[in-house]
Amino acid sequence: MCHHRRRTWGGRPAVVPEMESRMTDLLTAVNDGVYTSLLIGLLVLVGVVMTWRTRAVQVRLFTQMVSYATRSRRGADGGISSFQAFAIGMATRIGIGNITGVAIALILGGPGAIFWMWLVSLVGMATSFAEATLAQVFKVRALDGTFRGGPAYYIARGLGSRRWGTAFAVLLVLSMALAMPMVQANTISATVEHSHGVPTWATALVLVVLTALVVFGGVRLVARVAEIMTPAMALGYVAIAVAVIAVNLDAVPQFFADIFAGAFGMRAGLAGVGGGAMAAILNGVRRGLFSNEAGMGTNPNAAATATVAHPVQQGLIQSLGVFVDTMFVCTSTAFIILASGASIYVPGVTGIEAGAELTTTAVTTQLGGWMAWPMTIMIFFFGFSSILGAYAYAEVNMNFLRAGGSARRVLGAVTVLTTGIGSVLALQTVWVLMDTAMAVITLVNLVALIRLAPWVVALLRDYERQRTTAEDAEPRFVAEPEVLPGPLPGDVWTPVPALRR
C-alpha cells in the first residue's frame, strides 16, 4: 500500500470551499514534513534496531521464510491458514502505488532511487517480522473461532494501555473503512475513464458489487479470495515485466549499472527532477518504506488471524512479504520503465505529471497497444485487493473495540458505500486526513515495537532453541514464565489450547 498524493482527472468536481481548501493545504504541509523527516527516520531506525536485536533474522532465516510460505496453506483446523493471512497482508501491500508510486520515485530520484528502495526493504523485513510476531503472541480468539490481533492488541495486552490501543483501533478503522476504499476506488475509476473512456459510474457499479459480495462474508471470505487473487495478480504483473525484459534483454546490465551509479551520484544524467544523490536516497527510502508497510501497524492485523504453531512462523512469513513486494513487484515497475527508452522516460527530464500513466505507457510502447486493457485490469485488481485488505484490517480492530455482529455489518456497508463514493468523487481532504491518521498510527506502533522488543527476542530465542534441539519437529510455542519477559494475558498459548494451534 503506497501512500502518494492522488490527482483528479478531467470532469471531476475540483472546487472546494475555501475553508476546506485551507485545511487541506495545512494538513498536506504537515504530512509532507512528518513523512519526509520524522517518519522516514524513525522507520529506518526501528528497522536497524530490530535487525540488530534479532541478529539479522531476515538474512539468517530467509530460507525458512520461503519454506513456510510454500507449505502453509493447510493446518488451520477450520481457521485462517498462515498463507491466507499472508495473502491478506499482500493484498494491501501490493496496491496501485506499486505501479504509480515507483514511477514517481524514478521521476523524482532517478534510477538510483531503486537501490535505496532495495536497501531499506532489507531492514524493513526485520520490522515486519517483529510486529507480526507480536501480533501473533498477543492475539485473542474471536467468537467465530478465528483469531484477531494487531497493534491495538499488543499495545493493550503487552504494554497494559487499553486507552492507546483504543485510540489506535479507532484511527485505523476510520482510515481503512472510510478513506482507503475512497482512495483506491478513485484511482481505479480515474484510470479506467482516462485510458478507455469508461464512465466513472460504470466502474463504481462494478466495484460496489464485487466489494459487497466479498466483505459481507467477513474476514474468512476475504482470506479465501485473497489467497487466490493476490498471487495471481502479483505473478501476472511480474510476467508482464519479464516479457518487457525479454524484449530488452541486452539492456539489463545497463539497468543495473544505472541504478548503482545513480544511487551514489557517480554519473551525470541519472539524477531525477528532485535533484542528485540525496533525492535518490530520499525517494528510494520513502517508496521502500511506504510500499511494503513495514512498521506502519497495518499488516500485523492480517498476521494475527493465522493459525500457527509458533508466533515466529508467521513473523517469518510476513517478513517475506516485504521482500516480495519490493524485490518483485516494485522492481518490476522499475525495470518496465527503465526499459522503455528515452521516448518514455529520461532521468531529470520526465516530469511528475507523467507519473500516473508512465508504467502503462511504457508497457504499451514495448509490447503493443493491445496491452492497455491488461494493464488496466491489473490496476483494477491491485486497487480492489487493497480495498478488501483494508476491510479485513478494519474488522479486526472493530473486534478490539468490542463491536457486535450488527456493527460489523455496518462496517461492511460503510466500506461498500465509500467505495462507490470514491469512484465518482475526488475528495482530496479525505486523502489528506488518511495520511494524517496513518502518520499517528505509525508513530504509536513504532513506540510499541521498541518497548516490546524483548518479547520479540525471547520468542525468536525459543523458536531457534526448539529448531536446534529437535530438528525434525516443528517448533511449538507454549507460554511459560521462563521463556517470556513477562506474563502473557489470555489462554491462546497456554498448554491445552496450544495443542490446537
What pLDDT does 455 receive? 96
What pLDDT does 28 receive? 67
Name the residue with higher pLDDT: 221 or 268.
221
pLDDT tens figures, 348-395: 777 766 666 888 888 888 888 888 898 888 889 888 988 988 998 998
Within-domain flag for 336: yes
Within-domain flag for 203: yes
Within-domain flag for 158: yes
Other Cβ atoms less than 10 A from the Cβ of 129: the count is: 30
What pLDDT does 173 receive? 92
Mean pLDDT (the chain, rounded):
83
Cross-strand bridge partners of residue 275: 272
What pLDDT does 217 receive? 82
Mean pLDDT of 110-133: 92
DSSP letters, 352-363, are GGGTTTHHHHHH
**CATH label of the domain that carries residue 203:** 1.20.1740
Within-domain flag for 197: yes
Burial 47-84 (b: 16+ CB within 10 A, else e): bebbbebbebbbeebbebbeebbeebeebbeebbbbbb
Residue type, 336: I
Within-domain flag for 13: no
Give the sign of the dihedral formed by CA 97, CA 24, CA 30, CA 126.
negative
Residue 359: HSE in the Cβ half-sphere, 13 Å Cα cutoff: 30
Within-domain flag for 161: yes
What pLDDT does 9 receive? 42
Give the angle 89-145-482 at the CA atoms, nearest 5°: 80
What pLDDT does 51 receive? 96
Cross-strand bridge partners of residue 272: 275
pLDDT tens figures, 83-106: 888 888 888 888 877 888 888 888
- Given a contact cutoff of 8 angstroms between Cβ atoms, the answer to whether 84 and 226 are in contact is yes
Within-domain flag for 9: no
Angstrom distance (rounded) from CA 193 to CA 204:
11
pLDDT tens figures, 467-485: 888 766 788 888 887 888 9
Q: Is the pLDDT of residue 6 over 50?
A: no
Angstrom distance (rounded) from CA 222 to CA 21:
36
Range with the lowest mean pLDDT among 18-22, 38-42, 209-213, 314-318? 18-22
Burial class (CB in 10 A: 0-12, 13-18, 19+), 209: exposed
What pLDDT does 4 receive? 45
Question: Confidence band (pLDDT; 50, 70, 90) for 75?
Answer: low
Angstrom distance (rounded) from CA 14 to CA 9:
9
> Hunting for cell 543495473 — which residue is that?
256
Report the SS3 class of residue 210. Answer: helix
- Given a contact cutoff of 8 angstroms between Cβ atoms, the answer to whether 149 and 301 are in contact is yes
What pLDDT does 7 receive? 43
Angstrom distance (rounded) from CA 272 to CA 338:
13
Angstrom distance (rounded) from CA 135 to CA 444:
15
CA-based end-to-end distance of the chain: 30
Name the residue with higher pLDDT: 165 or 196.
165
Number of domains in the chain: 1
> Hunting for cell 500516473 — which residue is that?
356
CA 66 to chain centre: 19
Question: Confidence band (pLDDT; 50, 70, 90) for 207?
Answer: very high
pLDDT tens figures, 420-449: 988 887 666 666 777 777 888 999 999 999
Of 105, 112, 102, 101, nearest to 271 by C-alpha is 112
Q: Is the pLDDT of residue 147 over 80?
A: yes
What pLDDT does 499 receive? 46
pTM check: above 0.85 = yes
Share of the chain above pLDDT 70, in %: 85
Q: Is the pLDDT of residue 1 over 60?
A: no
Name the residue with higher pLDDT: 337 or 32.
337
Phi, psi of 148 (to 5 degrees): -135, 145
Structural domain including 276 reads: 18-494
CA 419 to chain centre: 19
Q: Is the pLDDT of residue 462 over 90?
A: yes
Of 52, 49, 58, nearest to 319 by C-alpha is 58
Angstrom distance (rounded) from CA 412 to CA 304:
20
Of 217, 253, 224, nearest to 335 by C-alpha is 253
What pLDDT does 316 receive? 96
Q: Is the pLDDT of residue 78 over 50?
A: yes
What pLDDT does 273 receive? 60
Rg (CA), the chain: 22
Q: Is the pLDDT of residue 36 over 80?
A: no
Mean pLDDT of 179-184: 86
Q: Is the pLDDT of residue 15 over 60?
A: no
Angstrom distance (rounded) from CA 362 to CA 338:
9
CA distances from 201 to 179, 192, 356, 428 (A): 19, 11, 21, 19
Within-domain flag for 8: no
User: In this structure, what C-alpha cell is assigned to residue 440?
Assistant: 499517528
